[in-house]
Structure 1
Amino acid sequence: MTKTALVVDDEVDLCRLMQITLTKMGIKSDVAYTLSQARDYWQEREYDFCLTDLKLPDGSGLELVKEISGSTNTPIAVITAHGSMDLAIEALKLGAFDFVNKPLELPRLRQLVENALKVTHQGDDPEAAPECTPEQKLLDSRLIGDSAVMLPLKNTILKLARSQAPVFLSGASGTGKEVVARLIHDLSPRRDGSFVPVNCGAIPSELMESEFFGHKKGSFTGAVADKQGLFQQANGGTLFLDEVADLPLAMQVKLLRAIQEKTVRAIGDTKEIPVDIRILSATHKDLSQLVQAGTFRQDLYYRINVIELKLPTLNARRDDIPVLATHFLALIAEEWQLETPPSLTTAACERLQHHDFAGNVRELRNLLERAVTLAETPNIDVNHLGLPALTPADTEPQAMSSATQGTAPTAETPAARTHPASADTLLPNSPSGQMAPIDSSAAHDEKGQLIQAPTSASNLHPYRTHTQHYPSVIKGAAANHPKTAQGDSAENIKTANQAAQAPNETKNINNLGLPAQGLEHYLQAQEKQLIITALKQTGWNKTQAAELLGTTFRSLRYRMKKLEIDEDQLE
């Protein structure tokens, strides 16, 4: 079927040029020279997309944008004169698909039209089941949860994916801002292009311009070859600026021009190169406060914050915790190559739903990884979670209400912002953060406090069924190893045995026999010492050290990373 387009502009020559370009692309077009004529055409016929000027003889093109985007899913793009960026941004806020500047560049026009034709007319058929669409399936597979705050978030993401407007993702750490950014890209017409994420806070300020815009060979000391910048890498796709609040002021100026003009110039080059990218940005900081403080440019803030999407915290979507936990446990079983996938007991699931997740979904995954490591069977119970005992106030009904803990996330613009209380969470790409080993079988006093540290070898890896203590395992192995008779290894093993068998000989708090720096620090220190001892014993051979400790190579490597053990500590 031949695609059709409506072109609205009062410049006859420009309309003819656009008509010729569209005809060569196999698109039939109608031309309207006034706003009233465009409305008549729109009511009489159906079009696949619309292209309109913002300044018309009998009104503003913004009126047409508002009418079309508010009533249909048909993409509408705007043509704006050079220097009228504020009008273009206003059009994007009203629902415009994209914009193109005058004087018109044909390659840019063709790219815009191709992107517009890729936009699906999802929602045009009221009888169509949205859950059956590929877009909805992708959303459900990547954005886990169907709580009250998640359904409007998914609908908003689908709408944002159809647009080319810059989107600012706000939310606390661990809410899955990059996950949402990738979803917007994968659901958009730019899905075939590159998704280029960049952590703005991780790039040294002196290298920032080269990283973003590239450089030419010989442009500065050390520039031994041409380098392509991040903007060039994202050409035709999406550039995701994570932690954009960490950009230095000098770089903010250069970034503003690149976003506004859609051109970049590499260091040492004499010409600017056009780039076709969509900007997505995110930060856990309050950009509006940084603007008031003078540490973030206001003009850049309005360029990247055309549409704001707030992500809910995990505490605001507690109903999703069971399905999230199941999802993460399946991922952990696959990554760790576990024969039997782990699962949560009913009590453990209820305990997670009562936990206050400061780190949101990222904290949930870390907690589950630790629980799988400590569990002796595939069944994860409350004691494997390592969470403090609940008080009666924690189990009251209001603690489980997700509907009252956050406002449904919506896409916002700086002109109309309600600032919902929620700020964070979806799916992280990878876990991060320090996870201290927690007692899986320690005794508790009448107040629910841990009073005894475990030394079971079963705590080293998933589903361990042995009952030997760490010191016993190493001591037995050391007796058969010639190097344990003398030197540092034997002394370390002796020290580890003494420390594990006599915890009350450590520094005391009020002479109660408790570790001065707390249980977690004590357990970490003991475990770290045992692992180092085993590694020394085997000459840094992790496979043999894992066998010596009665665990797996994968589990040992995981714990070495968490405890920050490297080869330098073995000297």
Structure 2
Amino acid sequence: MTPTPSYSPTLLLVDDVPANLAVLSDLLEPEGYQLVCATSGADALRLARRARPTLVLLDVVMPGLDGFAVCRELRRDPTLAEIPVVFITGRNEARALSEGFRAGAVDYIVKPFDADEVLARVRTHVGLARARCELAQKNRELAERVAELREAVASREAAEAAQREAHDRLSVLTAREERRWNIAGLLGRSPTLAAMLREVERLQAFGRVGVLLVGETGTGKELVARALHNGSPRASGPFIPVNCAALPAELIESMFFGHVKGAFTGATTDRKGFFELANGGTLFLDEIGDMPVVLQAKLLRVLEDGRVTPVGAAAEKQVDVRVVAATNAALEARIAAGSFRRDLYFRLARTTLRLPPLRDRKDDIPILAAHFIQRSAEDLGLAQAPGISPAALAALAAYDFPGNVRELRNLLENAVIASSGTTIQPGHLRLGFDSPTRIADHLESPPVTPTPPETAAEDPVPTTSADEIPLNLEAAERILIQRALAEAGGNIAEASRLLGVHRSRIYRVLGELETVAR
């Protein structure tokens, strides 16, 4: 910041009579002012440009340039225009004084002057000049501070944008799933769901408290974890989802805690683990019951003291992470079997949130159905989402959905394809991919469109040996897709991953199968 300059007042005294200058000098010099004297108007302008005086005491009647002309010249020069001018004049008539003020003077002293009056006027105008100087310095300092703050704000915004970009890259897959499910607050209006959401809202405020989510497969545990994160004080930090059941055993410790270069074969660079990536945010551990026991002990330590040690490193690192864990398994049974640590369970289960299965919130099925039909229609590029008949909704309500909301979503994706954009009927709803049974078969009334028995051979089967695969590419494709869907539990995205094909290819084959079935 610019330093404040020391203030030393300089007075320019102008009079064509040297004796008058001597009197003024004797009066003002003892006051500590620096004095510069001129005996003509031309000398006054030259000295003013060189000395930059704080105040000018200017005689009016002088040969050549008189005081009025000198004052006007000072006012025309942008570098001198702010210097106050006090006239010393023997003329005190109104016309002369008016002309002096029009020329730019700020005050006047009448000759013969009184010493006390001169000192009082000089002190007043020097004080005002000092105040203007200090104000200008403060304004410069303020402008510099504003510039610094703007730079700091711009730097912070850039850092936050970079953090958001990194967060988006880390959670792109689950973010896409969140968009599809529209889980701003889980869909539905049933009392069961409302009670769970009130508990989610309560837990959002406790950004440091871990939560154990307990629920069947397909109840939306990751989506609830995201809701806990997005509504918490950690919302601006990263959300890192980890499926504990899908991690390679030989790399699991490195993936959680990171490693340093050379820690093991293939460790060519330092790498951050999940805990460091989630620093300042939330780490979601799905299927926590499948975590190896050897890693459970290290996880417990991190939960206790917030420190991680990368593989091959000598020093620990401090992390600030909220852990939200989830399980669809009975952890108590796994504790009894010795595959899950009791102390870790109690550390995770301090706050437990149970997610209701879809069969306990069937009032939400119509809302969920309308949402999933709309999303499927958009994904398939349909101009308009098909409707769903009351009979089809009744069929859905009669089914228990062991796969919960995920199963309902997959079921309706297939129904949109099977209906070819027309109103979805019970005959378009399939129970699963390992049985020709339709959901409508679970109703007391017969289905609107019964399934021809001769189509049963077209339905998926659990296994098919290589010798049994037909030498017809289309038929072989159908069998492979059916097997993949059976392996994936009806999840089309997972089946497409297993086969290494785009999901649109699976949709096409399913549509052909449904056409044959009708």
For residue 322 of structure 2, the aligned residue among 278, 281, 298 is 278
CA distance in 1, matches of 2:510, 2:253: 33
AA matched with 1:452? P
1:65-76, aligned counterparts within 5 Å? none
Equivalent residue for 1:355? Answer: 399
CA distance in 1, matches of 2:182, 2:505: 35
Equivalent residue for 2:482? Answer: none
Aligned-pair Cα RMSD in Å: 3.7
Equivalent residue for 1:452? Answer: 452
Quick check: which one's helix share is greater?
2
1:298-447, aligned counterparts within 5 Å? 298-386=342-430
Note closer, same or farther for the CA distance 1:266–1:554 as it changes in structure 2 (3 Å cut). closer
C-alpha contact (below 8 Å) 1:373/1:555 kept by paired residues? no
Answering whether residue 480 of structure 2 is matched by residue 531 of structure 1, we say: no
CA distance in 2, matches of 1:333, 1:299: 48
C-alpha contact (below 8 Å) 1:328/1:368 kept by paired residues? yes
Equivalent residue for 2:283? Answer: 239
C-alpha contact (below 8 Å) 2:185/2:197 kept by paired residues? no
Provide, for residues 531-563 of structure 1, a one-character-per-residue CA deviation record: whole Å limited to 9, x for no partner: 35899xxxxxxxxxxxxxxxxx97434356999
Q: What is the DSSP-based 3-state SS (H/G/I as helix, E as strand, rest coil) of the residue aligned with 2:188? A: coil
Q: What is the DSSP-based 3-state SS (H/G/I as helix, E as strand, rest coil) of the residue aligned with 1:228? A: coil
1:18-417, aligned counterparts within 5 Å? 141-163=184-206, 164-386=208-430
Note closer, same or farther for the CA distance 1:277–1:440 as it changes in structure 2 (3 Å cut). closer
C-alpha contact (below 8 Å) 1:139/1:154 kept by paired residues? no
Note closer, same or farther for the CA distance 1:218–1:317 as it changes in structure 2 (3 Å cut). same
**Gaps in structure 2 of 5+ consecutive residues:** 1-180, 479-501, 513-518
Equivalent residue for 1:22? Answer: none
Q: What is the DSSP-based 3-state SS (H/G/I as helix, E as strand, rest coil) of the residue aligned with 1:386? A: coil
CA distance in 1, matches of 2:332, 2:203: 22
C-alpha contact (below 8 Å) 1:167/1:281 kept by paired residues? yes
1:462-473, aligned counterparts within 5 Å? none
C-alpha contact (below 8 Å) 1:371/1:385 kept by paired residues? yes
AA matched with 2:452? Q
Note closer, same or farther for the CA distance 1:197–1:204 as it changes in structure 2 (3 Å cut). same
AA matched with 1:242? D
CA distance in 2, matches of 1:245, 1:175: 17
CA distance in 1, matches of 2:360, 2:271: 44
Equivalent residue for 2:492? Answer: none
Provide, for residues 504-550 of structure 1, a one-character-per-residue CA deviation record: whole Å limited to 9, x for no partner: xxxxxxxxxx96x795549x999995735899xxxxxxxxxxxxxxx
Provide, for residues 167-198 of structure 1, a one-character-per-residue CA deviation record: whole Å limited to 9, x for no partner: 00001111110010010000001000000010
C-alpha contact (below 8 Å) 2:440/2:446 kept by paired residues? no
Q: What is the DSSP-based 3-state SS (H/G/I as helix, E as strand, rest coil) of the residue aligned with 2:284? A: strand
CA distance in 2, matches of 1:167, 1:372: 37
Note closer, same or farther for the CA distance 1:335–1:437 as it changes in structure 2 (3 Å cut). farther
* Residue 386 of structure 1: how far off its partner (Å): 3.2
Aligned residue pairs total: 301
Q: What is the DSSP-based 3-state SS (H/G/I as helix, E as strand, rest coil) of the residue aligned with 1:380? A: coil
CA distance in 2, matches of 1:154, 1:439: 33
**Gaps in structure 1 of 5+ consecutive residues:** 1-137, 388-432, 454-502, 504-513, 536-552, 564-571
CA distance in 2, matches of 1:258, 1:297: 15
* Residue 206 of structure 1: how far off its partner (Å): 1.6
CA distance in 2, matches of 1:233, 1:345: 47
C-alpha contact (below 8 Å) 1:371/1:384 kept by paired residues? yes
C-alpha contact (below 8 Å) 2:433/2:460 kept by paired residues? no
AA matched with 2:333? Q
C-alpha contact (below 8 Å) 2:244/2:290 kept by paired residues? yes
Equivalent residue for 1:59? Answer: none
The percentage of counterpart residues that share the same residue type is 41
* Residue 377 of structure 1: how far off its partner (Å): 3.4
CA distance in 2, matches of 1:166, 1:260: 11
C-alpha contact (below 8 Å) 1:370/1:435 kept by paired residues? no
C-alpha contact (below 8 Å) 1:438/1:520 kept by paired residues? no
Note closer, same or farther for the CA distance 1:451–1:157 as it changes in structure 2 (3 Å cut). closer
C-alpha contact (below 8 Å) 2:395/2:439 kept by paired residues? no
Provide, for residues 470-528 of structure 1, a one-character-per-residue CA deviation record: whole Å limited to 9, x for no partner: xxxxxxxxxxxxxxxxxxxxxxxxxxxxxxxxx6xxxxxxxxxx96x795549x99999
AA matched with 2:405? V
AA matched with 2:196? L
AA matched with 1:145? G
Equivalent residue for 1:558? Answer: 507
Q: What is the DSSP-based 3-state SS (H/G/I as helix, E as strand, rest coil) of the residue aligned with 1:330? A: helix
Looking at CA atoms only, which structure, 1 or 2, has the larger radius of gyration? Answer: 2
Equivalent residue for 2:121? Answer: none
AA matched with 1:221? T
Q: What is the DSSP-based 3-state SS (H/G/I as helix, E as strand, rest coil) of the residue aligned with 2:369? A: helix
* Residue 435 of structure 1: how far off its partner (Å): 7.4
C-alpha contact (below 8 Å) 1:370/1:437 kept by paired residues? no
AA matched with 2:270? D
**TM-score, with structure 2 as normaliser:** 0.53
CA distance in 2, matches of 1:185, 1:259: 17
Provide, for residues 374-422 of structure 1, a one-character-per-residue CA deviation record: whole Å limited to 9, x for no partner: 11333101111135xxxxxxxxxxxxxxxxxxxxxxxxxxxxxxxxxxx
Choose between structure 1 and 2 for higher RCO, CA contacts under 8 A separated by at least 6 residues: 1
Provide, for residues 241-272 of structure 1, a one-character-per-residue CA deviation record: whole Å limited to 9, x for no partner: 10001111111111111111101011111111
AA matched with 2:221? K
**TM-score, with structure 1 as normaliser:** 0.48
CA distance in 2, matches of 1:554, 1:224: 36
